[in-house]
Amino acid sequence: MDSEHESLFTKALDRYKAGAEPIDLIEDFEKITKSAPNQSSGWTCLAWLQLLCERPQEALNTAKIAVKLNGQDPQARINLSLALLETQSKGVRDQIDIAKKLLITVPEFEKDLKDSIADGLTRKPDWESLKKIKKWLGF
């Protein structure tokens, strides 16, 4: 990741963490994915924002790219699971099973994933798909 891309990514992520509205960050993450299309983190964040903004079809396409680029990222798998649920597509169970295996293999991922789920439910308290996934993961 070059320094310009990294700086843009860090600034956008910091804005998100500071409470910026997801809709206000989508354009930034679209720029990030265009400037560094092989970096899965940008795609993963963009999919999350699209899900928060109730754009499940866009999120499905974005999450598929994130998983293709980094199949070992449980957040990317969760985003894909959410998009699959919200578009009533097949394959949710497979993604959840892979995410569970990743959490067993790399337990450090668990805190980040729990934090992400908590953040999602804070920003979108009625997010039924995320509540299901939280239950399936045993969180």
Kindly report, residue by residue over 14-30, the tens digit of the pLDDT.
999 999 999 999 999 99
- DSSP letter (8 states) at residue 138: T
* CATH code for the domain of 97: 1.25.40.10
pTM metric for this prediction: 0.94
Extract the tokens encoding 86: 């919200």
CA distance 88 to 36: 30
CA distance 81 to 68: 14
Kindly report, residue by residue over 105-138, the tens digit of the pLDDT.
998 999 999 999 999 999 999 999 999 999 999 9
Residue range of the domain that includes 77: 3-137
Helices (H) and strands (E) in the chain, counts: 8, 0
Count: domains in the chain: 1
- Amino acid code (one letter) for 54: E
Let me know: does 62 contact 53? Beta carbons within 8 Å. no
Q: What are phi and psi of 126, to 5 degrees?
A: -95, 25
Kindly report, residue by residue over 53-107, the tens digit of the pLDDT.
999 999 999 999 999 999 999 999 999 999 999 999 999 999 999 999 999 999 8
